[in-house]
Amino acid sequence: MDHVDKILEQWHRERPELSIAPMGTIGRIKRLHQHLMLGMAKTWAAHGLNAASFDVLATLRRSGSPYALSPGELMASTMVTSGTMTNRIDQLAKVGLIERVRNPADGRGFLVSLTNKGVEIIDTAVTEHVSTQANLVSALSDDERAQLDDLLKRFLKGFEA
């Protein structure tokens, strides 16, 4: 019996007419999200990063050389607003992890590019991030994790189709 089971038991006792099974599913996903984010935040913090800065740097790094994207491409990939992205870019530029460079395809615009320091930081951080994630899912066998991935894909498809 886990924490969510206790909550469900209380609701079943107090409101037996309600079908509360979805509350269990969502409650467990919410609690897992909290645990996972805490675990990953420790790894990011060890590199002077947080979820937002890691997201931007990782997006630039996985885009491939020359590790540069327009602000619009970054916004689309990270799913944040223009104002939020501007703030993230400003903060990362202040600490020398990214820089704004002229867009060769559009002289009026600019690209956000990783600096050498930014590449070094994200390469080290993402290596540890992957290790942290492996530890976070280690309670599941490879087959169980694959099964969970399939179920979560189907669940997400209902929202993102």
**Residue located via tokens 């509360």:** 20
Q: What is the pTM of this model?
A: 0.88
- Helix, strand or coil for residue 99? strand
Q: What is the Cα–Cα distance from 21 to 25, expressed in whole angstroms?
A: 7
**pLDDT given for residue 21 in this prediction:** 95
User: What digits encode the pLDDT tens for the residues 13-63?
Assistant: 999 999 999 999 999 999 999 999 999 999 999 999 999 999 999 999 999
Beta bridge partners of 112: 69, 100
- Helix, strand or coil for residue 107? strand
Half-sphere exposure of residue 48: CA atoms within 13 angstroms, side-chain side: 11
**pLDDT given for residue 89 in this prediction:** 94
Q: What are phi and psi of 54, to 5 degrees?
A: -60, -45
User: What digits encode the pLDDT tens for the residues 130-143?
Assistant: 999 999 999 999 99
* Contacts with 55 (C-beta within 8 Å, 6 or more apart), sequence order: 78
When pLDDT is averaged across residues 78-92 and rounded to a whole number, the result is: 90
User: What digits encode the pLDDT tens for the residues 100-128?
Assistant: 999 888 878 899 999 999 999 999 999 99
**Element at 98 (helix H, strand E):** strand 98-103
